């Protein structure tokens, strides 16, 4: 006899991807944002249970991320974060 302690339901993706404004770029699990004249990278870390972390980055790196030239891995290497 198999006991059923819970039921599962298939997940759903949002129909529309979140749009970023002029001062923000959203990647998969990370984003870069301009606040006043400062630039920040926010990402889901690889620590246990995935902590949301934010670090300050350069304006050039912000621009490169918006142009698709930098990915999260590049930021992790350059800024020594995980």
As to burial, measured by CB atoms within 10 angstroms (0-12 exposed, 13-18 middle, 19+ buried), residue 11 is exposed
Which residue in 38, 78, 33, 35 sits closest to 58, CA to CA? 38
More confident residue, 10 or 13: 10
pLDDT at residue number 14: 67
Number of H helices, E strands in the chain: 2, 4
Report pTM.
Answer: 0.73
Tokens read off for 17: 């991807």
Tokens read off for 12: 């759903």
Q: What is the pLDDT of residues 31-80, one digit of tens each?
A: 999 999 999 999 998 877 878 999 999 999 999 999 999 999 999 999 99
């Amino acid at each position: 006899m198999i006991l059923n302690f819970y039921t599962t339901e298939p997940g759903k993706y949002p129909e529309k991807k979140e749009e970023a404004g002029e001062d923000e770029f959203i990647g998969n699990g990370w984003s870069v944002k301009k606040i006043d004249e400062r630039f920040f990278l926010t990402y889901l870390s690889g620590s246990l249970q995935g902590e949301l972390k934010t670090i300050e980055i350069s304006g050039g790196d912000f621009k490169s991320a918006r142009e698709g030239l930098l990915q999260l891995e590049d930021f992790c290497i350059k800024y020594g974060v995980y």
